[in-house]
A and B are shown apart, each in its own frame.
Chain A
Amino acid sequence: MEKVAIIGMGMTKFGECWDKGLRDLIAEAGAKAVTSAGIDGKDIQAIYGGNMSAGRFIGQEHVGALIADAIGLSPIPSTRVEAACASGGLALREAYLSIAGGIYDVVVAGGVEKMTDVYTEQVSLTLGGAGDQEWEVFHGATFPSLYAMMARRHMHDYGTTEEQLAAVAVKNHSNGAKNPLAQFPFEITLEQVMKSSKVAEPLKLLDCSPITDGAAAVILAKESFAKKVCDNPVWITGSGHATDTLALDDRRSMTTLDATKLATKVAMKQAGITPKQVDLAEVHDCFTIAEICAVEDIGFVKKGEGGKAEADGMFDLNSDIPVNTSGGLKACGHPVGATGIKQAVEISWQLRGEADKRQVKDANIGLAHNVGGSGATAVVHVFSREVR
C-alpha cells in the first residue's frame, strides 16, 4: 500500500457567509489548499468532495462536477461523497484509499456546505434526513431530540449532569476564541449555557452546534511526490470507517456509538497506536453529549467517565489530550459536509506547528473523528508527523 501524506490545506472562514455561494466557498478553500501545497493545479488527478445536501439547501445537485468546475480543474474525475455530517470525513477516506491503493499520485479531498440560504426550519428538516425519515422524523423527531435521548440515557446510566454537558461547550468556545476562522470566536460561561433556551431537554441552545456556511480542502499525495515537494508533510497513518443502524432506537446501546468504537479500532491498529499516544483530537461535538460519548468510545476515558473528565478539564487546550482545539463543531461551526475536512486541516496545522495562539506543544500524533447522523456512520483518521 502507498503511504499517503497531506501536503497542503486550507479553509474558508466559517459562519453566515452571505456574500458567498457554494462555488465561491469551495473555490476559496481549494485555492488556499493548492497554494499551501506549492504545487500546480495540473498535478492534481482527482477530487473527492464531501457534501451532505446541496440539493435540499440550495437546489443544486451534481456537486462533484460543480466542484471541479468551480476550482478550474475540469475535466479531471470529481466525485461527491455523502454520509450526512460525516460526508467530509468519508471524502477524506475515499481520497486516501485512491492513493493508498495506487490509483492516483495527487488528489484533493474537499468538503462544502451552504446552509444559510434557506430558513432555519428547512435546515432542521434537511438535517433530520440524517436520521430515519420513516421511523424517527415521521413521529416528530428533530436532530437535537435524538442526541437529547442519548444524553438522557447517559445521565440515567452514569450520573452525567447538565453542568458536565455545558462544560464541553464552555471549553470549545474557549478554543474557538483563539481561532480567527471560527464562527463564534468568543468565550461563553457555564451560566450562559445553563440559562440558554431549551431545545430538546436536557439539551439547550448552547449545547448545540450552529448552522454554518463553509468549505475546507486538503491535498493528498503519495510518499515519493510528497517528499519531493513538501518539507513538512502530515502522514495519514490510519483510516477507519464503520456503519450502524440508521435509526437510533435499533442500536445495541444509546450511550455508546459502536461505529465510533469500530472505526477507531481499525484506524489505531493500522497506525500502531493506543489512545494514550494521541497528542490531540478533533471529535464530532455536534451536541455536547456527542463529545462526551466520543471521548469514551475512542478510549480516552472509561465509559461513563466522560462527563466528569470534561468538567475536570481533562481535554482543555493545556491538558495532555486537548480535544477540539479548533473550537469543534460547537464554536468553529458545522457546515456539515465540510466538517470532516476541517478536522483534518486543524490537525495538520497543529502537527506542523502552524496553529498560532491555540498551538499544542509537541504535537506528533492527532486523531479526527467524524460522525454521520446519530451514529450510523463514523470515520476516524490518525495523523502523524512521522511516516509509517
Chain B
Amino acid sequence: MPHRKSLASVWRRIPQRYRMESTMCETCGTYFFPPRNFCPTCRRKSKIKHYAAKGTGKVYSYTVIHVPQEGFELEIPYVLAVVELDEGAKLTAQLCDVDLEDLKIGMPVEVTFRRISEGKGGGIIHYAYKFTPISGQNK
C-alpha cells in the first residue's frame, strides 16, 4: 500500500502544489522550485524572497511510463517530465492532454491544475500542477 500521508503533510504543501509559490534569491537572481530557505551559492548573503511561478516553461526531458507506481495503475501510459520554468527552476511533473507522437524536448508547456492520486480505501485526494502543451505551439 502506498505510503499513507497525514493531513498536515498534504496541507503544508498547498502553496507550492496549488499555486506554484516558491522562493528566489535576490542576491544572485536564482529562482528555486521547491522553495529553499537559503541560497546554496550565496549562503549567508542570501536574500530570500517569495514568488509565484508564471507556470510556463519548456520540456527539459520526459518519459512515457508503462509500469506505474502503485496508485497510478489507471493512468498508464502516463507522461512524466522535467519542466524548465521560464524563471529558470526545473521541476518534475506529469504532462497531460498531449499526443504521445508530439512529445519532444524543448516543447513549450503551461501549468494546469489536476488530480494526481488518491489514497487507497478513501484516503486524501491529492491535487497539484501538471503541464500541458501550449496550444498551437506543440509541433
Q: Does B45 contact A (CB under 8 A)?
A: no
B1-60: which have CB < 8 Å to A?
1-3, 13, 34, 60
Find B61's partner among A144, A247, A254 (CB 8 Å cutoff).
A254
B111 contacts the other chain (CB 8 A): no
* Contacting pair B69 A128 (CB below 8 A): yes
Q: Is there a chain A Cβ closer than 8 Å to B81's Cβ?
A: yes
Chain A residues positioned under 8 Å from B60 (CB to CB): 153, 249, 254
A148 CB-CB contact with B under 8 Å = yes
A97–B93 Cα distance when bound, in Å, is 40
Does B134 have its Cβ within 8 Å of any Cβ on chain A? no
Does any Cβ of B come within 8 Å of A330's Cβ?
no
In the complex, which residue of chain B has the Cβ closest to the Cβ of A201? Answer: B64
| CB <8 Å contact, B3 and A156 | no
B113 at the interface (CB under 8 A from A): no
Q: Is the CB of A145 within 8 A of B82?
A: no
Query: Does A62 sit at the interface, judged by CB under 8 A?
Result: no
What separation, in Å, do the CA atoms of A128 and B117 have in the docked complex?
16
From B62, B65, B67, contact of A152 by CB (8 A): B62
A250 contacts B13, C-beta separation under 8 Å: no
Complexed CA–CA distance, A248 and B63 (Å): 14
Is A140 within 8 A of B61, CB to CB?
A: no
Contact between A122 and B70, CB atoms less than 8 A apart = yes
**Is the CB of A18 closer than 8 A to any CB of chain B?**
no
Does B82 contact A142, Cβ atoms closer than 8 Å?
no
B68 within 8 A of A: yes
Q: Mark A146-176, 1 if CB is under 8 A from B, else 0.
A: 0011101100100000000000000000000
Give every chain B residue within 8 A of A141 (Cβ-Cβ): 69, 80, 92
List, in ascending order, chain A residues with CB within 8 A of B91's CB. 135, 249
Whether A16 is near chain B, meaning CB under 8 Å from some CB there, is: no
Task: With a 10 A CB-CB cut-off, give which of B60, B66, B116 has the most chain A CB atoms.
Answer: B66
Question: Are A152 and B34 interface neighbours, CB within 8 A?
Answer: no
Given contacts A140-B72, A142-B69, A200-B63, whether A149 and B116 have CB atoms under 8 Å apart is: no
- Identify which of residues 81-139 in chain B touch chain A, using a CB-to-CB cut-off of 8 Å: 81-82, 90-94, 105, 116-117, 126, 128
Question: Which chain B positions have C-beta within 8 A of A254?
Answer: 60-61, 82
**Number of chain A residues whose Cβ lies closer than 8 Å to a Cβ of chain B:** 36
Nearest to A149 among chain B residues (CB) is B61
Min CB gap A161→B, angstroms = 16
B90 touches A145 (CB 8 A): no
Q: Residue A121 contacts which of B70, B81, B117 (CB distance < 8 angstroms)?
A: B70
In this assembly, does A124 line the interface, its C-beta being within 8 Å of a C-beta of chain B? yes
Q: How far does the Cβ of B39 sit from chain A's closest Cβ, in whole Å?
A: 13
Question: In the bound complex, how far is the Cα of B3 from the Cα of A125, in angstroms?
Answer: 8
> Which residues of chain B are near A232, meaning CB under 8 Å?
none
From A128, A139, A152, A201, B66 is in contact (CB under 8 Å) with: A201
By a CB distance below 8 angstroms, the chain B residues around A128 are 69
Check A71 for interface membership: any CB of B closer than 8 A: no
**A140 in contact with B80 (CB, 8 Å):** yes
* Residue from B82, B90, B116 within 8 A of A140 (CB atoms): B116
* Chain A nearest Cβ from B32, distance in angstroms: 9
Q: Within the complex, which residue of A133, A137, A140 is in contact with B75, where a contact is CB–CB below 8 Å?
A: A140
Measured between beta carbons, the chain B residues less than 8 angstroms from A150 are 61
A290 CB to nearest chain B CB (Å): 15
Q: How far is the CB of A362 from chain B (nearest CB, A)?
A: 41
Instruction: Please name all residues of chain B whose beta carbon is closer than 8 Å to the beta carbon of A58 when the two chains form the complex.
Output: none
Q: Is A388 an interface residue (CB 8 A)?
A: no
**Contact status A149-B128, CB under 8 Å:** no
Question: Quick check: B2 and A200 within 8 Å, CB to CB?
Answer: no
Given contacts A135-B34, A140-B116, A142-B68, 6 further A-B contacts (CB under 8 A): A138-B128, A140-B80, A149-B82, A202-B63, A248-B82, A249-B60
Binding site for B on A (CB under 8 A): 121-122, 124-125, 128, 132-142, 144-145, 148-150, 152-153, 156, 197-203, 247-250, 254
Name 6 interchain pairs, CB-CB below 8 A, sorted by A: A140-B68, A140-B69, A142-B69, A144-B67, A200-B63, A249-B92
A-B pairs with the 4 shortest C-beta distances? A148-B63, A149-B61, A153-B61, A121-B70
